[in-house]
Amino acid sequence: SYELTQPPSVSVSPGQTANLPCSGDTVGSKYVYWYRQKPGQSPALVIYHDTKRPSGIPERFSGSNSGNTATLTITESQAVDEADYYCQAWDSTTAVFGGGTKLTVL
């Protein structure tokens, strides 16, 4: 079965850029989606089709996907960005999630 791998945690200083990787075998040939989950809340879509932002998501959020790695990039990181971030792709009819990365802004 297909797997997506994310580092358990990433730390970034306020105002700096956070890069959250998501690796998988030829993930660049698939569309990747990113979800943000704040403590006690449900997940929320922040990136779809590798690079696109749903309405309401700030331009600070961007994505890329090539080869074996997709990346969520958050520029000008803020305390409000602290959350768990999950990548997701489709393996045929099955949605596959990465294990999630906890982003700490400090």
**Interface residue list for other proteins (CB under 8 A):** 1, 31, 33, 35, 37, 42-45, 48-49, 52, 54, 86, 88, 90, 93-100
Distances in Å between the Cα of 55 and the Cα atoms of 8, 45, 52, 93 are 28, 10, 10, 26
Structure tokens at 101: 């990365």
Closer Cβ to other proteins, 14 or 54, answer by number: 54
Q: Which is nearer to other proteins, 89 or 105 (CB)?
A: 89
Quote the tokens at residue 76: 């000008």
Least gap, CB of 16 to other proteins (angstroms): 26
Closer CB to other proteins, 8 or 59, in the complex:
8
* Element at 12 (helix H, strand E): strand 9-12
